[in-house]
Structures are given as C-alpha cells and as structure tokens.
Structure 1
Amino acid sequence: MKMYDLNKILVAVDSSLYSTNTIKFALDFGKKFDCVVDALHVVDTIQFEGPFIHDLSGVLGFEPFINFSAELKKTLEEKGRSILQAFSEMAQNENVKFHSFIEVGIIPITIVKTSYEYDMVFIGKKGVNASFDRGILGSNIESTVRRIKKPIFVADKDFYEIKNIVVGYDGRDSAKEALKLANVCATSLKAKIHIVNVRKDETETLDNTDLKITYLTKQKSVADTLIEYAKSLTNPLLMLGAYNKNRLLEMILGSTTEAILRKESNLPLIIVR
C-alpha cells in the first residue's frame, strides 16, 4: 500500500504561459505542504542534434554539428538559465524552499528519469509550441504523462488556489490510490473532496463500498460529465486514476484520463497510478 507524503516536488519548466502557471501551482503546494520544490529545465537534444539541423545545414551549405549545433546548444542553455532565474525569484517571493537545475537530453525521458527522486511531478498541459500543436496535448507532455510512475499534476492555462477536489472513482486500484492522495491534499490545501462516479443509468451503484459517492448519470461521455461537474464547483482540481492497464483495450476504446487531458477544460488535473 502506497503512503503519500509530499516532501519533494519536481516542476518541469520552460518559457510557456502554461509553465508559469505550473510553477504557481507547484509553489502553492510547496508553501502549504512545507516541502521543497525543485525546478528542472531540459535542453532538448532534438533541437540541436535532430533531423532539422541536418536539413538546415544542408540548405545553408555547411557541415552540421561543427559550429552551428554547439552555438545553438549554448543559446538554449542560456535561455534555460534565464527561465530558472525567473523561477528562483518566484520561489523566493513565496518563501518556498527550492533548487533549480538544467539537464541536456530528450525531454520526456529526462523528466521521467529525474522524477524517481520526487513525490509528485508538476508539468504544463502544453509547452512552448502550444500554438502549433495539432492536438490538445503537446507530444512531450503526452509522452511524459504516459511514462511517469509518480503522481503527476498537469496544469492548465489558469492558476487559482484549489478549494475543491473531484475524485473520479470507479473502484479500480488506481482510483483508490487517487482517493488516498486526495485525502492528503485536502488537509494541506484546506479543500473539500467530492467522490464522483459516472454511471450509464440511474440503477448502477458500486459494490462493497461505504464511501459517500456522488453518482452522475452519463450524458455525453464520462470525461464530459466529470468536467461539467468539476466546473460547477469553485476552484476545482480533478484527480483520476491512471490509464487502463489493458493497453489494447485502451487503444480501441480510449481512456477517460486521456480524454480529459485532450479537452480544453482549463482544469488542473492530478493523475495517480
């Protein structure tokens, strides 16, 4: 049985608006849990070692990886230090204990590898290329969310102090873990918990539970029903168990977790495994 004790939080940062709000959420947790918040900025190797550099070098008529990629890497590292400096100033203003560091690597892999030392990871729903994303999620974000084993807080484009926590509950182990974490968060955040189950019709109930559950009858989809309920509350946070363990079933039917991530709901979300 997992025990949730937030002592160290990792927040992945870049130069996007989503990242700014992610930092605000992470620092709010850091202050209310009295824990350390570490900021990680990843200099993406794909930007200076990928096919784009090969193609650009060919067009411009010079050999790749001699000067251009080294200069680009240096520029990206300088930009990363500026981003972390802004984070440091925000953390100091909030009197939150913090550290910050830069890593060079592939973004999702680096975040996941670093996350093993932390109790929760905060990440923005979109990155610096948000305006060019075809889907709702950035590709780096989606890959990170799928790989990470720790609870992950996905911040949307608005920040607020959380007052209500909506736990999507279906009796699965991951939903039970989400409920345990919700109880921990509710105490420090001074938030109210709402345990919600979305059912196909009004006769369905969950067996073998003494929880006080709010049953919602599905109107459009489970994701839409949960989002609509959460948005009826003040300053809500959605908390869900992770993806279905049956990946084949998930590929065919999709998952509620992924559906909520892909919608423009403007709701913060914690995913728990």
Structure 2
Amino acid sequence: MTYVMACIDGSPSATAVCDYAAWASLRLDSPLAFLHVLDENSYPTNSNLSGNIGLGSREILLEELAELDARRSKLALEEGRIMLEAAKQRALEDGIDSPLIKQRHGDLAETLVELQEEIRLAIIGKQGDHASAGAQVGSHLESVLRTLSRPVLVTPTAFKQPESVMLAYDGRPTMDKAVQLITASPLFKGLPIHLVQVGADTNDAWEQLKSAKEKLKAAGFDAQIAIRAGEVEPTLHAYQNEHALDMVVMGAYSRSRIREFLVGSTTTKMLSTSRTPILLLH
C-alpha cells in the first residue's frame, strides 16, 4: 500500500502541509500518513560530551550534561508526538479516514528514501523549523528533492484549494511523463491546465505543446498552451499571476551534475519565490 506522506514539523508551513495532504489524499483516494523525523544532529540520542569537559571538571558535571541531552531528546520526541496527533485530528476533521502517524529518529531525506516504496506522493513545507535565518528554501527540502524519486508537493505557509494548474513545459522527457501523470491522476481531474514554455517561439516548440495539449484534451482536460520569452523564473511567475493559477508542476533537480546548474538553479528560484504549491517530478 502507498500513502500520501506528509512531513510534519514545528515550522509555519505545518498547517498548510496538513491541509494540502488531506486535499491530495481525498483527490487521489489514497491513505494519508503523517511523518515526523527527529533530526539527530539537533537532538542526538547518544552524545559524547567528554570533549566539552575541561581539565579539573568533576564527573558529576559530565553525568548532568548527558542527562540534560537525554531530556532534550525526550522532550523533542514528545513535542513531535503532539504535533502528529494534532495533524491527525485536523485530517479527521477534513474527512480523512484513519490517517496514520509515524515518528523516526534520523535524517529526513534518508528516512523518506527508506520509506520510498510506501510513498505515492510526499508533501513538505518550503521551510522547515530548522531553516537558517533568511533562507527561502530549507536545506532538508533540497536534500529530499535530490534523493527521493517520488513526486514531491512543496507547500507555502497558507492553504488554498487548487482550482487550476500551470505545467512549466520545456520539452524534456520528464515533461512527457508529467503530461502522462496529469492525464492519469485523479489529483488534477476537472482542473484547467496551462502548459507554458519559456524560450524561442519556434514551430518545433509549438508542435510539442500542441501534441501535449491534444493528449490532455483527449483525457477530458481544458488545456491551454503558451510560449513566452524571457528569464524562466520571473516569466513563469508573471504568467501564473496573470491567469491566477493555483499550482505549478515542474521538473525537480536533475541528477546530472552538468544539468544541475541549469535545471537545479531554476527549480531553486521557483521554490524561493513561489507563493503557491509546486509539484516537483523527476
């Protein structure tokens, strides 16, 4: 069985993550699970504090520090449990039947990879509760997007039920898979789709877009296509704002180190500046 897997923490995005997860679970008719991962770098389960004890310090001080570390970890686990229970209650109120809760120690990206076979769609906030000051995209999110092979829905801090979608189309094979996913998935059923390509206005580009549009129309979608010139990130957002589109679908970070500079930088910019959810596909 696969789940909509929502990653919960103490960040401002947590409520929106819950609501988008419930929305996706109902649309996909897929069970919902909430996951809280206690970062061992912040709350280690077994710390060696001997290097922090100076010459002449008493053994009791080392014992007290170890006890303090254990208490901090225990409190953090309890805080996570409370957050998971609150998320579960919110999902029940949204009409979700028997949402699951999971709690783990470790690294978020590594945990999601371990659970990958159970994940149909992962949902995570743009910034986690340990995001550095001024950061627009959390470091955990970047790690998740570079390692997880499942679709990832990245949420803003506030929920708005999606009623329209923009697919950032660039003609790569990933986009053909995105079109197939949209036509096959109940997540997008009944939502108008705008396929937007940023680049040269050529016959080849139009032919690719028209082909994708026909596939969507054959599946019952109201689809529109457009080509715009300019820098990718501001041009896509300008089109999105012009048409008041509620969600963006685009490719995630490339696994190729060469393409990472081209694809990854655009992905990061879109995530940094977006005020709507972005569904990222590999």
TM norm. shorter chain > 0.5: yes
How far, CA to CA, are the matches of 2:19 and 2:12 in structure 1?
11
Q: Secondary structure at the match of 1:119?
A: strand
How far, CA to CA, are the matches of 2:263 and 2:4 in structure 1?
33
Tell me by how many angstroms 1:36 deviates.
Answer: 0.6
How far, CA to CA, are the matches of 1:58 and 1:41 in structure 2?
33
The 8 Å contact of residues 6 and 33 in structure 2, kept in 1 or not, is answered as yes
How far, CA to CA, are the matches of 1:88 and 1:253 in structure 2?
36
The 8 Å contact of residues 161 and 235 in structure 1, kept in 2 or not, is answered as no
The 8 Å contact of residues 239 and 271 in structure 1, kept in 2 or not, is answered as yes
The root-mean-square deviation of aligned C-alpha atoms, in Å, is 2.8
Structure 2 residue 4 is matched with structure 1 residue 9:
yes
Partner residue in 1 for 2:236: 226
The 8 Å contact of residues 240 and 272 in structure 1, kept in 2 or not, is answered as yes
Structure 1: gaps spanning 5 or more residues: 1-5
The 8 Å contact of residues 137 and 268 in structure 2, kept in 1 or not, is answered as no
Structure 2 residue 116 is matched with structure 1 residue 115:
yes
Partner residue in 1 for 2:227: 216
Tell me by how many angstroms 1:185 deviates.
Answer: 4.5
How far, CA to CA, are the matches of 2:129 and 2:255 in structure 1?
31
Partner residue in 2 for 1:36: 31
Partner residue in 1 for 2:157: 157
- Work out the percentage of aligned pairs sharing the same amino acid: 24
How far, CA to CA, are the matches of 1:138 and 1:87 in structure 2?
21
Q: Secondary structure at the match of 2:205?
A: coil
How far, CA to CA, are the matches of 1:95 and 1:112 in structure 2?
28
Partner residue in 1 for 2:256: 246
Using a 3 Å threshold, how does the CA distance of structure 1 residues 147 and 55 change in structure 2: closer, same or farther? farther
How far, CA to CA, are the matches of 2:263 and 2:181 in structure 1?
27
TM-score (structure 1 length as normaliser):
0.85
Tell me by how many angstroms 1:188 deviates.
Answer: 5.2
Matched pairs, number:
262
The 8 Å contact of residues 182 and 188 in structure 2, kept in 1 or not, is answered as no
User: What is the one-letter code of the residue matched to 2:226?
Assistant: Y
Structure 2: gaps spanning 5 or more residues: 214-223
The 8 Å contact of residues 186 and 192 in structure 1, kept in 2 or not, is answered as no
Partner residue in 1 for 2:221: none
Deviations 1:242-265 (A, max 9, x none): 2234312423785322221222x2
Q: Secondary structure at the match of 1:116?
A: helix
